[in-house]
């Protein structure tokens, strides 16, 4: 004897909205890849000694990685923003370019603190799929950015030695002033 079992009607879920890459998100993906390679190459240089026979090859690798990341950043910055959700990607590109090309400690600290001083410039708001995808890309960028800022070659080593010799209260005042 068969029991009566409730069978719900068959419903197919609605098609999930898919993300369609825009030119800016495609360039930003390339920037993330090249920035990661640049950080690895610079980190290798920090670990090698000048008497290491592989040091010359690592210097060449680091120079080519720097060239690639700067080319990727220039392509990103030349790309037109088509939607408002993409604007934080451009801001991230500007700050990364400024960090890599800065030539003094003041500019470095100023650029490094921008994402903390103006967090709303580095956050994509909106309910669209693009905003969610952009926020994931920005999260990845922030992880790479913290590693980039920690590199001794990027930060001015003379400034690092100077601030290490200062008392803790003075260091705090310098950070608060920036």
In tens, the pLDDT along 124-164 reads 777 777 788 888 999 999 999 989 888 866 655 444 444 44
Give Cα separations from 57 to 25, 54, 61, 69, 88 (angstroms): 32, 5, 6, 18, 36
Give percent of the chain above pLDDT 90: 31
pTM: 0.73
| pLDDT score recorded for residue 102 | 87
Please tell me which residue, 61 or 158, carries the higher pLDDT value.
61
Instruction: State the pLDDT at residue 175.
Output: 44
Give the model's pLDDT for residue 31.
Answer: 96
Which residues, including other chains, have CB under 8 Å from residue 129's CB and lie 6 or more apart?
17, 18, 19
Nearest to 92 by CA among 144, 36, 168: 144
Please, is 35 exposed, middle or buried when counting C-beta atoms within 10 Å of its C-beta (0-12, 13-18, 19+)?
A: buried
* Token digits of residue 11: 């419903």
- Of 11-20, 26-35, 111-120, 133-142, the one with minimum mean pLDDT is 11-20
Burial bucket for residue 121 (CB in 10 Å: 0-12, 13-18, 19+): middle
- The span from the CA of 41 to the CA of 53, in Å, is 16
Spatial separation of the C-alpha atoms in residues 32 and 30, rounded to whole Å: 5
Give pLDDT tens digits for 47-58: 776 676 777 888
If you search the block for the tokens 């190459």, which residue do you land on? 41
Percent of the chain with pLDDT over 70: 71
């Amino acid at each position: 004897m068969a029991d009566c079992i409730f069978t719900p009607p068959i419903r197919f879920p609605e098609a999930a909205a898919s993300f369609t890459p825009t030119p800016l998100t495609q360039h930003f993906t390339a920037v993330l890849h090249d920035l990661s390679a640049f950080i690895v190459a610079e980190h290798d240089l920090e670990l090698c000694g000048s008497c290491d026979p592989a040091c010359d090859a690592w210097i060449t690798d680091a120079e080519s990685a720097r060239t690639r990341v700067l080319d990727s950043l220039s392509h990103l910055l030349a790309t037109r923003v088509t939607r408002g959700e993409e604007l934080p990607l451009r801001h991230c590109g500007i700050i990364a370019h400024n960090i890599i090309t800065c030539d003094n400690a003041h500019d470095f600290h100023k650029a490094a603190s921008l994402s903390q001083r103006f967090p709303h410039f580095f956050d994509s708001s909106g309910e669209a799929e693009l905003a969610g995808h952009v926020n994931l890309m920005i999260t990845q960028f922030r992880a790479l950015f913290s590693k980039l800022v920690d590199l001794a070659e990027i930060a001015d080593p003379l400034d690092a030695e100077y601030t290490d010799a200062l008392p803790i209260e003075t260091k705090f005042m310098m950070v608060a002033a920036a």
